[in-house]
Amino acid sequence: MNILRLSGDVCHLVTIISLFLKIWRSKSCAGISGKSQVLFALVFTTRYLDLFTFFISIYNTVMKVVYLVLAYATVRLIYLRFRNTYDSENDSVRMEFLLVPVAGLSFLVNHDFTVMEILWTFSIYLESVAILPQMFMIRKTGEAESFITHYLFFLGLYRALYLCNWVWRYYYEGFYDLIAVVSGVVQTIIYCCFFFYLYFTKVLRGSAKVTLPLSVTELSDPAPSLGHTQQ
């Protein structure tokens, strides 16, 4: 464990906790993509299937449990407790457009063709694109609260810290995981292209909301949903 990985873990944990508390305290999930949160819950589920069969350290086990609990608790708030505030019409990315290619790639490119290894690889690939429904939701509505933009910024920071961790491990430990590194680079590029501009040009100038000029309909459902629980 080095300071870069520890910083990344703390940044990631604080981001997830902040999102949960924001929804809980405001009693609203307006502007938050439920589909992204479902995908993140699926990421943690497929990655931590070894939770009770493979012990690394108390720290590792506790972090896995916390990630899983918070991910599913957040999904529950969005789709059950505060479902009346969930904007399903604008959270319109079709998740199969992400899940199917990720699943196919996991079968084709992995370290070992076993169930656990394929599921771990699936989680790595899926994490790199899980935030896309949130980003497309912002682009479609043309605005985002400052909290959401900060949320995206710190998720990107967590991934950037992990990239630095992998560089450190390569130079000082001779270890690298090509699948994790490439997926991390893709994820970082996605964040950089989308929200770093928004954060530095809008949020730091004190704007309560970020207004975007374009509306994106790619990957969207052909017709808006009338319900509040569509996934």
Q: What is the pLDDT along the chain (231 residues), one digit of tens a residue?
A: 789 999 999 999 999 999 999 999 999 999 999 999 999 999 999 999 988 888 889 999 999 999 999 999 999 999 999 999 999 999 999 999 999 999 999 999 999 999 999 999 999 999 999 999 998 998 888 777 888 888 988 998 999 899 999 999 999 888 889 999 999 999 988 888 776 656 555 555 555 455 554 444 444 454 443 344 333
Q: Is 130 inside any structural domain? A: yes
Question: What pLDDT, on a 0 to 100 scale, did the predictor assign at position 203?
Answer: 55
What the block records as the tokens of 161 is 């810290």
Question: What pLDDT, on a 0 to 100 scale, did the predictor assign at position 22?
Answer: 96
Q: Is 179 inside any structural domain? A: yes
Question: What pLDDT, on a 0 to 100 scale, did the predictor assign at position 8?
Answer: 93
Q: Other C-beta atoms within 10 Å of 224: how many?
A: 11
- What's the number of domains the chain is made of? 1
Range of the domain at 108: 3-211
What span, in angstroms and rounded, lies between the C-alpha atoms of 86 and 97? 22
Q: How many helices (H) and strands (E) does the chain have?
A: 9, 2
Question: What pLDDT, on a 0 to 100 scale, did the predictor assign at position 44?
Answer: 97
Question: What pLDDT, on a 0 to 100 scale, did the predictor assign at position 224?
Answer: 41
Question: What pLDDT, on a 0 to 100 scale, did the predictor assign at position 176?
Answer: 85
Question: What pLDDT, on a 0 to 100 scale, did the predictor assign at position 18?
Answer: 96
| Cβ-contact 140, 90 below 8 angstroms | yes
Q: Is 103 inside any structural domain? A: yes
Q: Is 133 inside any structural domain? A: yes
Question: What pLDDT, on a 0 to 100 scale, did the predictor assign at position 62?
Answer: 94
Question: What pLDDT, on a 0 to 100 scale, did the predictor assign at position 139?
Answer: 81
Q: Is 221 inside any structural domain? A: no
Residue for token pair 């370290």: 111
Helix, strand and coil in the chain, % to nearest 5: 70, 5, 30
Q: Is 220 inside any structural domain? A: no
Question: What pLDDT, on a 0 to 100 scale, did the predictor assign at position 208?
Answer: 45
Q: Is 143 inside any structural domain? A: yes
Q: Is 227 inside any structural domain? A: no
Question: What pLDDT, on a 0 to 100 scale, did the predictor assign at position 112?
Answer: 93
What span, in angstroms and rounded, lies between the C-alpha atoms of 220 and 92? 5
